[in-house]
């Protein structure tokens, strides 16, 4: 929460499954496009919040499977659990608040009367969330009867149907929208209300996000029937909410452009890095550098002297790379090693992305940039905590040079084949 000094320029509050993450896209291309845009243009002044139906355990599982960035805030279990920062510090106050007129045992007793309901896995049963599967045809009727029974037992609950199969029972004060309203209230009390909030979703449990006051919203193109129905009835004429024509994270990028709330060109959509800069943005340069590295090895840039010259031009002649194994190389030497690797990952799985980019200007002409650098290949997925020292070098096309790159394994990966690790 305190990562930014002032208020956020943009706060994105996004669902994960089939919104940020497209499970039908094995290459994760739209997610990687979003990641590059975020780390290049937003990380330094904005907040990203993941708002998922998943329990903490299933959420962590997804983070292992997909190239998800580290969010500033995580709302889990359909808005019943909120945690802050990368260490996921829970908001105990929120969970206390949800005890109001809530009794799990009573929910279990009453739901047992409905044979149409079948329990989801134990991981998805949480202190303030009881979850079932139910066939579409039964859902409406069961929700109505169940809700009456629970009111009669003195509870205040909310029953949500999502994805045409999942039924969640939560305290009335819970849910993704309530959790966001609570965060807004907290930010406001600190004088840090984000300038813009963009909510993003695809299914029933996302519906209430779109009713939070003053937010922009995007229903991704691939949304489920229950959200589309709600949108048609409630938001079609609301200019702050769109139904994107693009799927998942591509729909989020589309919405940023549609509402004009910030840059919407992902570095991944830029083929020629256009070696001219308007104002120096260290995050952008780091994203572009690793993208060039990925594209070189995938043979997606031209294998030309100009490309190599461009890489060399952003290298300080005495620049040093401290390899995670502790070995030091000159950066120029690393570029020499990279040249013959052109296309060695062609047709193979190979993606590079950065997360948690933060930079600080440490003198009139130098910046220290820290980030997690991820590399996914057929050999697995590995992360290096990387520190880069950039020096301004007005005579170069980019106006800066890499002086020192220092990497540390973040995931205990120490053996491995270091000879294939270049940057």
Number of residues that bind ligand GLC (CB under 6 A): 11
Q: Does 372 bind Mg ion (CB under 5 A)?
A: no
- In angstroms, what is the minimal distance from the CB of 197 to ligand GLC? 21
Helix, strand, coil % over all residues of the chain, rounded to 5: 35, 25, 40
Sheet containing strand 89-90, strands side by side? 89-90, 81-84, 73-76, 47-51, 10-14, 196-201, 216-219, 241-243
Among 36, 98, 166, 352, binds ligand GLC (CB under 6 A): 166
- In angstroms, what is the minimal distance from the CB of 72 to Mg ion? 20
Return the one option of ligand GLC, Mg ion, none that residue 35 interacts with (CB less than 5 to 8 A, by type). none
Contacts of 7 (CB under 8 A, 6+ apart): 187, 191, 192, 193, 194, 195
| Of residues 248 and 354, the one with the C-beta less far from Mg ion | 248
| Of residues 16 and 422, the one with the C-beta less far from ligand GLC | 16
The interface with ligand GLC within residues 231-290 (CB under 6 A) comprises none
- In angstroms, what is the minimal distance from the CB of 188 to Mg ion? 28
CA distances from 236 to 76, 198, 370 (A): 28, 17, 43
How many CA atoms lie less than 13 Å away from 13 in the CB half-sphere? 29
Q: Does 168 bind ligand GLC (CB under 6 A)?
A: yes
**Tokens 């040249």 found at:** 339
Stretch that binds Mg ion, among 10-18, 68-76, 171-179, 207-215 (CB under 5 A): 10-18
Stretch that binds ligand GLC, among 51-59, 225-233, 288-296, 315-323 (CB under 6 A): 51-59
The interface with Mg ion within residues 161-220 (CB under 5 A) comprises 202-203
The candidate with the shortest Cα–Cα distance to 111, out of 168, 172, 55, 161, is 168
Site string for ligand GLC, 125-154 (x = CB under 6 A): ------x-----------------------
Cross-strand pairs, 73: 49, 84
Q: Does 170 bind ligand GLC (CB under 6 A)?
A: no
Cross-strand pairs, 90: 83
For residue 74, the 8-state DSSP code is E
Among 18, 216, 289, 371, binds Mg ion (CB under 5 A): 18
Site string for ligand GLC, 185-224 (x = CB under 6 A): --------------------x-------------------
174: left (phi over 0), alpha (psi -120 to 50) or beta: beta
Q: Does 120 bind Mg ion (CB under 5 A)?
A: no
Return the one option of Mg ion, ligand GLC, none that residue 18 interacts with (CB less than 5 to 8 A, by type). Mg ion
Residue 5: CB atoms within 10 A of its CB come to 7
Q: Does 226 bind ligand GLC (CB under 6 A)?
A: no
The token pair that represents 321 in the structure block: 């790379």
Contacts of 48 (CB under 8 A, 6+ apart): 11, 12, 14, 38, 42, 69, 71, 72
Which residues lie near ligand GLC (CB under 6 A)?
Answer: 53-54, 58, 78, 120, 124, 131, 162, 166, 168, 205
């Amino acid at each position: 929460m305190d990562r930014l000094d002032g208020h956020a320029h943009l706060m994105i509050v996004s669902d994960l499954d089939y919104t940020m993450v497209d499970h039908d896209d094995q290459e994760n291309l739209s997610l990687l496009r979003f990641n590059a845009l975020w780390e290049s243009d937003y990380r330094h002044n904005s907040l990203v919040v993941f708002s998922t139906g998943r329990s903490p355990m299933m959420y962590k599982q997804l983070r292992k499977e997909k190239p998800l960035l580290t969010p500033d805030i995580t709302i889990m279990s359909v808005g019943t659990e909120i945690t802050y920062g990368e260490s996921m510090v829970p908001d105990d106050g929120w969970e206390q608040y949800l005890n109001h007129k809530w009794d799990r045992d009573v929910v279990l007793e009453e739901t047992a009367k409905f044979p149409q309901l079948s329990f989801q896995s134990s991981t998805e049963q949480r202190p303030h969330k009881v979850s079932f599967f139910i066939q579409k045809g039964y859902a409406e009727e069961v929700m109505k009867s169940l809700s009456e029974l629970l009111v009669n037992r003195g509870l205040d609950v909310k029953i949500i149907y999502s994805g045409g199969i999942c039924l969640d029972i939560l305290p009335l004060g819970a849910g993704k929208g309530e959790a966001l309203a609570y965060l807004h209230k907290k930010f406001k009390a600190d004088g840090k209300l984000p300038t813009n909030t963009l909510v993003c979703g695809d299914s029933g449990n996302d519906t209430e996000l779109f009713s939070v006051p003053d937010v922009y919203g995007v229903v991704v193109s691939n949304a489920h029937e229950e959200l589309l129905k709600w949108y048609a009835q409630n938001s079609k004429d609301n200019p702050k909410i769109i139904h994107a024509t693009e799927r998942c994270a591509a729909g989020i990028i589309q919405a940023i452009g549609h509402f004009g709330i910030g840059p919407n060109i992902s570095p991944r959509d830029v083929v020629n890095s256009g070696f001219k800069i308007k104002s120096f943005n260290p995050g952008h340069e780091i994203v572009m550098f690793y993208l060039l590295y990925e594209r070189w090895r995938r043979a997606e840039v031209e294998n030309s002297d100009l490309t190599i010259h461009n890489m060399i031009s952003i290298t300080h002649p005495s620049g040093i790379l401290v390899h995670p194994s502790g070995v030091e190389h000159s950066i120029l030497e690393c570029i020499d090693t990279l040249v013959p690797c052109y296309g060695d990952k062609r047709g193979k799985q190979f993606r590079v992305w950065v997360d948690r980019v933060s930079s600080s200007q440490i003198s009139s002409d130098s910046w220290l940039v820290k980030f997690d650098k991820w590399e996914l290949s057929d050999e697995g997925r590995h992360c290096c905590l990387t520190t880069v020292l950039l020096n301004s070098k007005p005579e170069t096309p980019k106006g800066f040079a890499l002086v020192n790159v220092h990497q540390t394994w973040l995931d205990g990966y120490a053996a491995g084949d270091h000879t294939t690790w270049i940057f």
